[in-house]
Amino acid sequence: MSIFYFIAFLSILFAVLVISAKNPVHSILYLVLTFFTFTIQYVLLNAQFVAIVNFIVYMGAILVLFLYTLMLINLNKDSEPMKTNLVKIAAVLGGGCLLVVIVAALKAIGASDPVVFKDPNLGLVKNLGKVLFNEFLLPFEVSSLLLLSAMVGAVLLATKDPKTA
C-alpha cells in the first residue's frame, strides 16, 4: 500500500509540474513521467497488458507525436498568446467546480471502498483477451469502428481539396 501512495504522490507531482512548467517541451516530458507512474500503478494492480499498452501507446506513440508537433511549431515567449486575467480567473473557477463535481460523484458511488476482483488474474493477456472477445465483443468492435472513422476523418481533413489544389 505504501508503494501505491508513493507512486500516487509522484503522479500528482509530475502532473502539477506539467501545468507549471514554463517550457512546453518540459511539460510534455513531465507528462511522459506522469504516464510512466500510471504504468507502474497498472503493474501493481496485476494488469500487465494494460500496463504495457499504456507504455507503448501513450508514452511511446502519442506523446512522441505531441513532442514532435511542439518541436515543429517552435513556441517561445514572444509568440505565445497571452491570456487576460479574466480568462485565468474564469479557468480557475471552472476547474474548481469540476473538481467539486468529481469528488462528489466519487463519494456518492463509494469509489474509495476497496474492490475485490473475482479473478485477480484478469489483467493477464490471455484472460483479458477472452473477456474482451466473448463478453464484450460488441462494444469492442464498435469502439474499433469509432477509431477507424476518426482516422478516416483526420485523413480527409488533412488532404487538400482536389478542386482547389
Partner 1 sequence: METGEIIIRLVLIVVIFLISLVVAMYSTYAERKIAAFFQDRVGPNRAGPAGIFQPLADGAKMFLKEEIIPTNSSKFLFIVGPSLAIMTACIGSAVIPWGQQIQIGGKLYDLQVTDINVGLLYIFGVVSLGVYGIMIGGWASNNKYSLLGAIRAASQNISYEIAMGLSIIALLMVRNTLSLKEIAEQQHGWHWNVLYQPLGFILFIVCAFAETNRSPFDLPECETELVGGYHTEYSSMKLGFYLFAEYINMFVSSAVMVTLYWGSYNYPGMDWVAAHLGTVAAPLIGTVVVFAKIFLFIFFFMWVRWTIPRFRYDQLMDLGWKGLIPLAIANIIGTGLWITFVK
Q: Does 65 bind partner 1 (CB under 8 A)?
A: yes
Q: What is the distance between the alpha carbons of residues 30 and 15, in angstroms, rounded to a whole number?
A: 7
Cell representation of residue 122: 484478469
Give me the least distance between CB of 34 and partner 1, in Å please.
14
The binder of partner 1 chosen from 8, 61, 100, 146 (CB under 8 A)? 61
Dihedral sign computed on CA atoms, order 63, 69, 72, 78:
negative
Give me the least distance between CB of 39 and partner 1, in Å please.
9
Cell representation of residue 28: 510534455
Binding mask 122-151 for partner 1 (x = CB under 8 A): --xxx-------------------------
Torsion from C-alpha of 76, 78, 81, 84, nearest 10 degrees: 120
Q: Does 73 bind partner 1 (CB under 8 A)?
A: no
Q: Does 120 bind partner 1 (CB under 8 A)?
A: no
Cell representation of residue 89: 480567473
Give me the least distance between CB of 126 and partner 1, in Å please.
8
Are the CB atoms for 37 and 55 separated by under 8 Å? Answer: no
Neighbours of 96 (CB within 10 A): 10
Q: Does 154 bind partner 1 (CB under 8 A)?
A: no
**Footprint of partner 1 on this chain (CB under 8 A)?**
23, 25, 29, 32, 48-49, 52-53, 55-56, 59-61, 64-65, 67-68, 71-72, 124-126
